[in-house]
Amino acid sequence: GEDVEQSLFLSVREGDSSVINCTYTDSSSTYLYWYKQEPGAGLQLLTYIFSNMDMKQDQRLTVLLNKKDKHLSLRIADTQTGDSAIYFCGRSQGNLIFGKGTKLSVKP
Amino acid sequence: DTGVSQDPRHKITKRGQNVTFRCDPISEHNRLYWYRQTLGQGPEFLTYFQNEAQLEKSRLLSDRFSAERPKGSFSTLEIQRTEQGDSAMYLCASSPGGIQYFGAGTRLSVL
């Protein structure tokens, strides 16, 4: 299987919470990341979490890390239409290793 | 701090031509990375510099690809004898160590 796996699509209604999930196979990474990519643009760093943490909250974003299950999630509270984008989970290995991205669609 | 800058944003070329892309990292970031992203995929690592030294190359970096960072500041990525399979977004990232900050990318189309 892939090193980092994500579901490809998520659709939510404006104002709801979005939860994007990611699993990975190698637990040696120091950092785990979430990046956002809008059409035709580069990657924008949203947030990151150290591998020795379980949770990190940053305004509307909450990251949960389950090291035992090698599972990372990103929760976006009060999702807005401007949150529509592709979200990439990544783990550090010097360079970054990414999943294929989850396309989040927010319906008004 | 203007962020990571990449030039050009778009490049259209004919198969067999050579192309060169430039990346200007965030000033004082000693680490610089190149990634390639094809449609529907996440970015894939190509190569990494620490200052002017190229420390790591991916197996994706065929001998038609060459990257330089001559003074430890900006970097160039050259593709010789382009092929249609080289069509992709080429992303540059810089880092002071740890978190990587990405540029907007150069989209290459090989006709």
Tens of pLDDT along chain A (108 residues) come to 578 999 999 999 999 999 999 999 988 888 999 999 998 889 999 999 998 999 999 999 999 999 999 999 999 999 999 999 999 999 988 889 999 999 999 999
What per-residue confidence (pLDDT) applies to B98? 83
How much is the mean pLDDT over chain B? Answer: 94
Answer yes or no: do A40 and B100 touch at CB < 8 A. Answer: no
Say what the pLDDT of residue B15 is: 97
**Do the beta carbons of residue A42 and residue B103 sit within 8 Å?**
yes
Are the C-beta atoms of B2 and B25 separated by less than 8 Å?
A: no
Q: What's the gap in Å between the CA of B62 and the closest CA on chain A? A: 18
- Identify the pLDDT of residue B1: 54
Single out the residue of B97, B45, B37, B34 nearest to residue B68, CA to CA. B34
The pair of structure tokens assigned to A12 is 């939510």
Structure tokens at A76: 């976006």
| pLDDT of B95 over the 80 cut | yes
Cβ count within 10 A of residue B101: 19
Please identify which residue in the block is written with the tokens 């990439």: A88
Q: What single DSSP character describes residue B84?
A: G
Return the pLDDT at B92: 97
Q: How many residues does chain A have?
A: 108
Q: Span B94-99, mean pLDDT?
A: 90
Comparing CB atoms, the residue among B33, B99, B102 nearest residue A42 is B102
**How many Å lie between the alpha carbon of A106 and the closest alpha carbon of chain B?**
19
